[in-house]
Amino acid sequence: MALHQGPHPSPAERRLALNPFFGEANPVGGMTEAPPHHRLPDGPLPPMSAYQLVHDELMLDGNSRLNLATFVTTWMEPQAGVLMAECRDKNMIDKDEYPRTAELERRCVAMLADLWNAPDPSTAVGCSTTGSSEACMLAGLALKRRWATRNADRYPGSARPNLVMGVNVQVCWEKFCNFWEVEARLVPMDGDRFHLDAESAAALCDENTIGVVAILGSTFDGSYEPVAEICAALDALQERTGLDIPVHVDGASGAMVAPFLDEDLVWDFRLPRVSSINTSGHKYGLVYPGVGWALWRSPVELPEELVFRVNYLGGDMPTFALNFSRPGAQVVAQYYTFLRLGREGYRAVQQTARDVARGLAERIEAMGDFRLLTRGNELPVFAFTTSSDVTSFNVFDVSRRLRERGWLVPAYTFPAHREDLSVLRVVCRNGFSADLADLLIEDLRQLLPELRSQSQPFTQDAAAATSFHH
C-alpha cells in the first residue's frame, strides 16, 4: 500500500458524510457527494460547509489541555489570540515592510539577554526561530564554524568535528550532527544518573570537539544538567591541555524557569564558557507553538559570515535563520507575554506549575504502586515508574488506561544504558491547575484496582507499547 493511502468508501457512503444542514438554505440542495479526501475536489464548497467538515474531523484529536506529554503551551489569554490573529499575515522575514514587528523581535532578544545575564545585553546577538530545534541548529552551526576557522589547516582534510552531549538530548541535536556531518559523542545514562555529568563530558573532548551541549531541563525526567560543574571541568581541561571547548546551554524549557525560580543557580552567561543559549518561547515562555530564541553572549561567538544583512529602515538589520517566510504572530505574542507578566508574573506562573507538579508527584508516590525518579523540583516535570513489587501491570498499561479517560500521559523506555527502565512522565504547564491534577488523581485511583487485578501486564513488548517517541 502506498504511503498515506486511505480507504475508498462507496459513493453512497461518501454522500452520507455530508450533513444536510451544511448546505444552502435548501437542506437537501447541496447533498450530492462529500468532497474527496485524497485529491482536490472538482469544485468549491460554501465556507461554512468546508469549515464544519474540517472542524468535525478534528474533534477526534486529543484535548490539548489534558495532554501531559507536551511541553508546548496550550493556553493563552484571549487578548494574545487577538494580537496573533492580527499579525498572522505578516511575514517575519520582511523586516523593512514590517519594521515594528522587527523592533518587537529586537526587544525580546534584549530582554532575554538581560534575563540570562549577558555581560553587555546591548551587544548580545540573537534571533527568533520557529522553535528550539531551529535554534539548536543555528547554535550548532556557529560552534562548528568557529571550530573550523580555528582548525583551517586540518579541516576538512583530516579532522572530523564532534559534539559532546548526553544521550538524553532532544532529537534535534542528533539531526544537527547528521545534517552537518558532525560526530555525535553521546554520554550514556548510568545507574541513577539520567543525564550528562561533568567528568564524562570532559573525558570525551579532544582537539576536534566543537562544543559541549548542556541541557537545562531534560525531557526524560525534568532534571537540570550541572552546567556550572561542566564548565568547571572544561576549565580544568583547558589548564591541562590547552583545549578551549565552548558550552551551549539548551534551555528549551529551563531557561524560562530557572531565572525566576532558581535565581541562585548559575547556568547562564555568568559562566564565561557559555557561548550561546536557546529556549522555546512556546514552552515555558508561555506562547502558542511556533517560536524559539537563540542568543550568543557577544558578536564574537556568532561568526559574521553566517549572518545575512537586510535593509531595515534605511539601516542594516542582521538576520540568521534556517527558515525564511514565517508569520510574525508568535513573536508579537512573546512580546505581549513579556509585557503582560514581567518578572513577577513569570515567577508566579512558573511557581504555580512547580507547586502543582510537586504536589501531584507526592500524591502519586503515596499510592504505593509507583516510584518517583524526579519530583518536579527543577522543571515542573516528573517521571515515575512502577514499584519493584508491582507485577500485574506496567507503565504502558497505566498510559493506555489513562488515555481512555482523555489523559495523554506518555510511557517510554530510557536510552542506553538504561533500556531496562520504563517510565511515565507528567509535564505541568500553565493551565494545568490543581483542580485538573485532582481529576487526574481521581481517575488514576479508579483505574488502579482493575490494573492490580490483572494476572500480568497487558503488553509484554515494551517497544510496541511505547506511546511516546522522544
Does 390 score more than 80 pLDDT? Answer: yes
Query: What DSSP state is assigned to residue 310?
Result: E
| pLDDT band (50, 70, 90) for residue 389 | very high
The pLDDT, as a whole number, for residue 1 is: 44
Give the residue ranges of DSSP H helices in 5-98. Answer: 11-16, 47-58, 78-87
- Which single residue is written with the C-alpha cell 520582511? 94
The pLDDT, as a whole number, for residue 119 is: 94
The pLDDT, as a whole number, for residue 251 is: 98
Does 282 score more than 70 pLDDT? Answer: yes
| pLDDT band (50, 70, 90) for residue 24 | low
Q: Which residue has the higher pLDDT, 51 or 411?
A: 411
Does 319 score more than 80 pLDDT? Answer: no
What mean pLDDT do residues 90-102 have? 87
The Cα–Cα gap between 356 and 352 comes to 6
Dihedral sign, Cα of residue 143, residue 329, residue 327, residue 61: positive
Does 249 score more than 90 pLDDT? Answer: yes
What mean pLDDT do residues 363-369 have? 97
The pLDDT, as a whole number, for residue 300 is: 93
The Cα–Cα gap between 209 and 244 comes to 9
* CA dist 172 → 18, 136, 178, 320, 455 (Å): 42, 7, 10, 18, 40
The pLDDT, as a whole number, for residue 48 is: 83
The pLDDT, as a whole number, for residue 311 is: 63
Helix (H) / strand (E) element for 137: namely: helix 132-150
Percent of residues, the chain, with pLDDT higher than 90: 75
Residue type, 146: R
| pLDDT band (50, 70, 90) for residue 469 | very low
What mean pLDDT do residues 158-176 have? 95
What mean pLDDT do residues 102-112 have? 95
**What pairing do the DSSP bridges indicate for beta strands 411-413 and 308-312?**
unpaired
The Cα–Cα gap between 456 and 319 comes to 57
What mean pLDDT do residues 148-170 have? 93
How does pLDDT run across 189-242, given as a tens digit for each residue? 999 999 999 999 999 999 999 999 999 999 999 999 999 999 999 999 999 999
The Cα–Cα gap between 213 and 143 comes to 11
Least confident of 195-204, 322-331, 339-348: 322-331
Percent of residues, the chain, with pLDDT higher than 70: 89
- Which single residue is written with the C-alpha cell 552537518? 180
What mean pLDDT do residues 297-321 have? 78
Cβ atoms of 367 and 444 closer than 8 Å: yes
How does pLDDT run across 25-55, given as a tens digit for each residue? 555 555 566 788 889 988 888 888 888 889 9
What mean pLDDT do residues 271-291 have? 98
The residue count for the chain: 470
